[in-house]
Amino acid sequence: ANEIIVARTHRNAYDRALRSAGAVLVDAGTADRETNAGIRGLEAWEVESVLSTKTAAIAENFSGATRGDMPVLAEVARKHGLPLIVDAAAQLPPAENLKAPLAMGATLVVYSGGKAIGGPQSSGILAGRRDLIASAALQMLDMDVRHEAFYPPPVFFGNQRPPAIPRHGIGRGFKASKEAIVGLLTALEEFLTRDERAVAGAARDRLEAMAGMLRGECRLKAEIVAGRSAAALPRLALHVEAPPAGPGAAQLAARLRRGSPRVFLAEGRIGENVLVLDLIAVMPEEDAAVVQTIKSALE
């Protein structure tokens, strides 16, 4: 079995990670609700209609727009004995999302070790069913060893050993270094002990100050956008005046990327002439420099 079912509304540029492991992605369902073409969302029969003897798993993109499909996918996966793999890479904070997908029926959940956790960008977390995590770990182990000397970590396999040593090493090219692992664990401990609401409040204070510094710019309007929860970081939406009166969001984004310092803004709303500033990678002492770069790019 090498097919993974993915709802059409969950397809994204990052699901290539599934294909790189050898999977064939099979689309299911329609996008009526998500595209405002209708009111119906993903339904169980749509997923079941593409099941076959080749189906290995079902995948879910756990985001605000697609989270509502989780009960349907979890029920189909449970009914047919299939693992449900959930991509929650960018769904922190709140910290409760470290457990929410598993509580909702996920078999495996993937999180980024960077982003909000603040660990190494090359790190990540795979949580869920122990035997499947053991299988994933086995893909990264050094295979250049005789079987009689091969003793994988007991935490995964107990006192048992695999009957043979695999040679595929699918994850070998993506192994995490010891330094990255320690860095991630340290960052995770800090992430779990911090006051999320206080962090979000401090971010709002910074954004309000930055919006105040931009208030005199006639070709740009700054608006604070609340996070998806009280614990999530707010962002600063920059509404850019369209050409010919202003540079337009696309041109401003290009100028900022070439500025000093270089400033990279989120471009998901660029069609609305809106750029979004996220403080997740900006230190407080850098705020003034970011604002000045934006002002210079508007000239």
What are 41's two structure tokens? 């969302």
- For 196-298, give the CATH class: alpha beta
What's the token pair of residue 118?
Answer: 């603040």
pLDDT of residue 169: 74
Query: What strand order describes the sheet that includes 235-240?
Result: 220-225, 235-240, 274-277
| Sequence-separated (6 or more) residues with CB below 8 Å from residue 140 | 169, 171, 172, 174, 175, 176
Would you call the peptide bond into 120 cis, given omega within 30 degrees of 0 as the criterion? no
Contact of 265 with 256, CB cutoff 8 Å: yes
Taking only Cα atoms into account, the Rg of the chain, rounded to an integer number of angstroms, comes to: 23
Helix (H) or strand (E) holding 204: helix 196-213
State pLDDT tens for residues 281-291.
Answer: 899 999 999 99
H helices present in 196-286, as ranges: 196-213, 248-257
Residues of the chain with confidence (pLDDT) below 70: 142, 230
Residue 173, both tokens: 């090219």
Contact 83, 129 (CB under 8 A): yes
- First CA to last CA distance, the chain: 58
Angle at 218 between CA 215 and CA 224, to 5 degrees: 40
Domain with CATH 3.90.1150.180 in the chain: 196-298
User: What span, in angstroms and rounded, lies between the C-alpha atoms of 214 and 123?
Assistant: 36
CATH number of 3-193: 3.40.640.10, 3.40.50.2020, 3.40.50.720, 3.30.70.1890? 3.40.640.10
What is this structure's pTM?
0.87
Q: How many CB atoms lie within 10 A of CB 152?
A: 15
Reference 166, options 134, 130, 138; nearest CA is: 138
Residue 201 has what pLDDT?
94
Q: Which phi and psi angles does 4 have, rounded to 5°? A: -120, 125
| Residue type (1 letter), 175 | K
